[in-house]
Amino acid sequence: MTEIETRLFRYFVGLAEEQHFGRAAMNLGISAPTLTQQIKKLEQQLGAKLVQRRGNTHVELTEAGLRVLDRARAVLREAKEAVAVARQAARGEVAGDNLLRYLAMHPYTAQNIARNGLEQRVREEVGAIPFVLVINKSDLFRDWELDPELESQLAAQGWNILHSSAKTGEGVEESFSLLARKMLG
């Protein structure tokens, strides 16, 4: 499985929104050739053409690009939320009951934290709150699954792993009830 940097998703979303390499590159603070190179890199990693050129600088999204766009936005939103939650927790600004503080994350985010050795750094930011990995099957790319070996490794390191499905509601209540019981002792 290929690991994709969130930066590549940010570049893709920027290009998708502008539909123009030059304007997108300027908004992203990079050169147009660099943006072109990074989009090609993302397409290679995904194994799909995401944009179709229309002239020298204009683009339109392919069917694959349209499908990936919402997921890329979700990954970026989740990464941004994880940073915000970590900073709030580090400052003691946690909404709700302090007994139930936790850092929830998408499997993709958890995998990046674990594989890039960032767990200690994140823990330093958020303090001694439980990490919760929410494996929501309806959120995952169809061809992307969390590595079972990594899931076992995370569980052994004390991560709380919850399996659920937002589409069916299966496992949601049970997962969070289990988490609450664990956290309240």
Q: Express each pLDDT in 155-183 by its tens digit.
A: 777 776 766 665 555 665 666 666 556 55
pTM metric for this prediction = 0.52
Q: Express each pLDDT in 30-59 by its tens digit.
A: 999 999 999 999 999 999 999 999 887 789
CATH of 94-184, one of 3.40.50.300, 3.40.50.410, 3.40.50.1980, 3.20.20.10: 3.40.50.300
Question: Looking at the predicted structure, is the pLDDT value of residue 23 above 70?
Answer: yes
Q: Where are the alpha helices (DSSP H) in 6-62?
A: 6-18, 21-28, 32-46
Question: Do the beta carbons of residue 72 and residue 42 sit within 8 Å?
Answer: no
pLDDT confidence of residue 97: 41
Q: Express each pLDDT in 85-144 by its tens digit.
A: 777 666 655 454 443 445 556 666 666 676 666 666 766 666 665 666 666 555 444 445
The second-level CATH assignment, the architecture, of 6-69 is Orthogonal Bundle (1.10)
Question: Do the beta carbons of residue 101 and residue 129 sit within 8 Å?
Answer: yes
Measured CA to CA, the distance from residue 139 to residue 149 in angstroms comes to: 20
Contacts of 105 (CB under 8 A, 6+ apart): 78, 82, 113, 131, 132, 133, 134
